[in-house]
Structures are given as C-alpha cells and as structure tokens.
Amino acid sequence: MADITEMLIRRGYLWQSFEIYGGMAGFVDYGPLGNGLRRNLERLWREYFVINERAVEIDTPTIGIEEVFIASGHASSFTDVAIECERCGKIYRADHYIKEKLGIETEETIDFASEVLSTYDVRCECGGKFKEPENFNLMFSTKIGPGRGKDGYLRPETAQGIFIDFKRLADYFREKLPFGVCQIGRAYRNEISPRQGVIRLREFNQAELEYFVHPGEKKHPNFQQYKDFSIKLVDKMDEEHNISLGEAVEKGIIAHELLAYFIGRTAEFLIKAGIKKDKLRFRQHKDDERAHYAEDCWDAEAYTSYGWIEVVGIADRGDYDLTRHNQYSREDLSIFIPYVEPVKIKVKRFVPKMSSLGPKFRKKSKKVAEAIENYSGEISDGKIKIEVEGENLEIDSSFFDIEEKEETVYGERIVPHVIEPSFGLDRITYAILEHSFETDVVDGEERRVLRLKRWMAPVQIAVLPLLSREPFLSKSDEIALKLKEAGFYTEKDDSGSIGRRYRRYDEIGTPFCITIDHQTFEDSTVTIRDRDTTGQIRVNEEELESIIKQLLESERDLKEFGVPFK
C-alpha cells in the first residue's frame, strides 16, 4: 500500500482536529472530500438497512440523562475502577488485577477494591504499593441546566435512543414484529489512549440498526438471498470456515438465521461500498469478549495497515435492553402478539366486595382488595388466606364473590429480542480509502489512483477544458453547470496541463473526466475519460447526462457508451 495518509491530508479527506491549537488525540475533522465520502457511505447504508428492510430512521439527542445509562448498564460496566502503582505508574483495572492475583471475583466498586487491596496487601508486579482506587468512566459526563444541574452523559452508542422510544416505535409499526429502527449519528467514548488515526476516536460516527423480532422467530424473509453466499468466518474457537451462510446456520456456527442474514447483508454492503472481499472476514466474539448485553456477536473485520480492524458488530442483544428499561422506567415495553387461533380458557376470578371490605379494613382495604384479586389458590371452609403488608389474613366469602367463566385469550405479551448490526462509519470510510488507493504505471510513469466505487466518489465528474482560454472556458462552464443541475458533484478545472489535471482527479478518486477539446466546437462532442483505464470515448453533448448517470450507477464499461478516442 502506498502511503495514503499524506494524500488524505493534502487533498482534504481527513485532518487532525484542533490542529492550530496543537491538536487533541481522538478527534478528527472530515475535509470536503472525506465528508463527501462518508455521506455517500451513509446514503448507501440507508439503501441497505432502511429502505429495503421493514425499517425506519429516527434521530435522538446525543446527550442522555443519567437514568438512561443506569438502566442500560453503561454507568456501571462502562466505569472501571482503576488502580495505579505509586512506584512504576502502571494502571490496571482493579477487578482484573484482583481476579488474576487472588482469584477473587470482585464487585466493581471503589470501596470493595480498596478493602481487598489493604486486606491482602496487594502489590504491583514491580513491588510498589497502589494508590487509592479511582473510578474511570469511559463516558463523557456533563451537567444539564444551570447551577448544580442534572447529571448527563454523552451517549456511548446511538442505540439507547431507540430503545427509549420503543413504545412509540412499536405503535408506529402497529405492534407488528419484526421491525427495524436505525439511527445514524455521533457517539462518544472517553478513550484512555486513542491511537491509530481514525481507528479509535473519542467522538465517532455510528450507523446502528435495532431489528426487533419475536424471540422464537429469529428468521428473515429474505434469507434466501444470502443462503448460498459465502464469506470468511472465524468462530469463537478461532477456527476458520469457508462455507455458505446457510451451512453455517445448519452447523450451528452462527446461532440463527437472522444473524446470518445480517452477516450476509453487511458483507454485501461493505463490498458495494468498496471494501475488498479478500480483506473482509467475520469473527465471532469469544465468550469473555462479549459485551454485557450480548448473547452472540459477530464482528465484520477489514484488513488494513493496522491489521484486522473491527468495522461492524452484529450482536444478538436478546431482550436485555428492553427488559432493563422496563424495570427502570416502569413502562411496559412488551408487545402484544396475537395467537393464530384465539384460545378459550376457563378462569376463576376472585372479585372483592368493597362495600364490606371498606368498613372493616378502612385504609388497608384497597391493598386487601388487590390481594384478593390476585389470589389464585383454593378455598378452604369458605375462606382464603392472603398476606397484606406482612400480615396474614383469613378472609371469608362475605368479602368476595367468585366469578367463573370461559374467556377467550387472543394472544400474549412478549418482550421482543433485538438483533443489532452496528457500523463504525469512520473505520469503514478509512478502510475503503486504504482498499482503494493504488499505484499503477501509465505511459511509463507512476500514477497514484484512488479506485473508489463510482457511486462513492465525493467528486463524480471533472470538466476539463483542453486549453485554458476561450472558447474552451465558457464551454466548460456551460457543461459543468448542466451536470451540476442534473445533480452530479462536478468540478471544473482549467489549471495546469491536461495531464496534470487528469492525475489530480485520479488521486482523489473522481471516476470520470469530461474533456472539452477542439473537436467539441466542430461537432458538439466531448470526451469521457475513465479513471481506472485512462481510456476515453467521444459522445454527443446531449447524451452526456444520461451516459454519466448510467456509468455512475453501475460498473459498466465505458466503451459500451461511445466510440473510443485516441
């Protein structure tokens, strides 16, 4: 691989943030081209994960109130208790270190770690003593509102915003599973040591789809599409499989069809975006690697100069999130699933008689009534035994009626499971750039060319007057304007020799250059030059828009559209 970072900076793909103030690790600025590329990636992602699924996109705040992250588990599992050696300055996660040295499973609290350290006189490997344990939270905290305000955090993932809106969303989808909800946006993690350029950022771009399904139906209607598709799979035992996704499900390597579907879909998407198939693999998380919420998880990994890097995580989060938010918010986040055939069942119900309960139990009567309603045991000697506020009571039949009838049950309430494909857009953008950047030789001279997929290029068309004077300039302006009006990202460039300009656009990945030459003024034709082959065709000015459109949407050969030129 040629050194790409130099080009990315110089040509306006990626810049260090806060550069004139010395910079700050973990943040990146997208220059004009980088931003364009990432936007195109987002557009393609929507095609794959929203428009062509039963899915919608929403947008929720990047700041979350504390309650959200207590419920989600991030407040505790995202906080590490860290211990630092006084002598050598090494920092460990307290729970890891204690478990390794003493074999004790610890709670993740400062007090507990502190107690264990002093009780067992735990020392650093260098022999030094540890300072008092401290919390290190990987979430950025903030205060909402004036004064002491309310505690808030910058979201560490976009997903929580979706879970919180679950009731509204289920309603939007008319209570019918499966459905998907996605969010594209920024997320924040206060990394201890961000490194490797765009690979580990403190503020990054996610595209997440939460696909809600019936726990017993982890299938997808379009799985057929990927059943015979194969991609390199590495399971949690580090074993490699080169089998179809259908087989992988049959053999139990992938837990279920729905995960396999998203693996297939993700692979197709990444390849369409410009990731090389031979530099793409899916790796299953090992048992100790999975997040607190995940039941099974497969990462898409792309091979880059940093080695294999995770670009997508596809997790079966089970009902973890909805159940937790259910508990903490006390909102019912289940969904009603009707049976195919309603079921008739006999029910026996105890109906409290308030007119007799009231006078006898007074303030307690409401609680007694509830206990009677919930009673499900037998009646002995016309009495039932219930417990109210720790007190055992015998209630005789003058306080309740028994209603026995046949009821029709139409369905049941269940908490859906969620399958989450979560995409790191920054990493994907970077991997695409690396996978696309090549050098080749044209006319004996080395050329740097960014072979982006045509539909991904931030600058799609460059209009180049052969000569930098009239009438070439006006004609170029006229054609560039027409192409812009047609919706193509177009640049006009008359600076330097024509060869120099071709190189300029090769380097940033512009797939096609339109050249206005002498012949243009004789027969109203222009040339289209293909970035990858440097071949040219000559076409009529009137057909230009339609040909460009077809070329940009496909990988069709330029020669199909006109007479080769030169």
Where on the chain is the footprint of RNA (CB under 7 A)?
Answer: 6, 9-10, 16, 22-26, 73-74, 77-78, 80, 84, 88-93, 96, 138, 156-157, 189, 191-197, 200, 289, 291-292, 306, 442-443, 445-448, 466-469, 495-500, 502-504, 507, 515, 517-519, 527, 529, 534-536, 565-566
CB 3, min distance to RNA, A = 8
Question: Position 91: which residue type?
Answer: I
Contacts for 378-385 with beta carbons within 8 Å, 24 or more apart?
A: 384/350
CB 30, min distance to RNA, A = 15
Measured CA to CA, the distance from residue 126 to residue 331 in angstroms comes to 51
Contacts of 425 (CB under 8 A, 6+ apart): 38, 41, 42, 45, 184, 204, 205, 206, 207
CB 302, min distance to RNA, A = 15
Q: What is 438-487 written as a DSSP string?
A: EEEEETTEEEEEE---GGG-SS-EEEEESSSSTTHHHHHHHHHHHHHHTT
Question: Position 122: which residue type?
Answer: V
Residue closer to RNA, measured from CB, 183 or 334: 183
Backbone angles phi, psi at 448, to 5 degrees: -100, 125
Of the candidates 425, 204, 435, the residue with the CA atom closest to the CA atom of residue 302: 435
Residue closer to RNA, measured from CB, 67 or 532: 532
Residue closer to RNA, measured from CB, 206 or 266: 206
Instruction: Supply the Cα-derived Rg of the chain in whole angstroms.
Output: 32
Contacts of 371 (CB under 8 A, 6+ apart): 386, 387, 388
Residue closer to RNA, measured from CB, 92 or 173: 92
Measured CA to CA, the distance from residue 538 to residue 553 in angstroms comes to 20
Residue closer to RNA, measured from CB, 25 or 337: 25
CB 189, min distance to RNA, A = 6
CB 494, min distance to RNA, A = 7
Measured CA to CA, the distance from residue 325 to residue 211 in angstroms comes to 17
Please, are residues 565 and 536 in contact by the beta-carbon 8 Å criterion? Answer: yes
CB 23, min distance to RNA, A = 3
CB 479, min distance to RNA, A = 13
- How far from 512 is each of 407, 484, 509, 529, 533, CA to CA, in Å? 70, 14, 9, 5, 11
- How far from 193 is each of 189, 199, 291, CA to CA, in Å? 11, 12, 20
Residue closer to RNA, measured from CB, 73 or 358: 73
Residue closer to RNA, measured from CB, 196 or 356: 196
Measured CA to CA, the distance from residue 223 to residue 252 in angstroms comes to 16
CB 350, min distance to RNA, A = 45
CB 489, min distance to RNA, A = 18
Q: What's the sign of the alpha-carbon dihedral 262, 265, 268, 274?
A: negative
Residue closer to RNA, measured from CB, 405 or 469: 469
CB 18, min distance to RNA, A = 8
Residue closer to RNA, measured from CB, 216 or 444: 444
Q: What's the CA angle centered on 287, arms 209 and 204, to 5 degrees?
A: 40
Residue closer to RNA, measured from CB, 10 or 143: 10
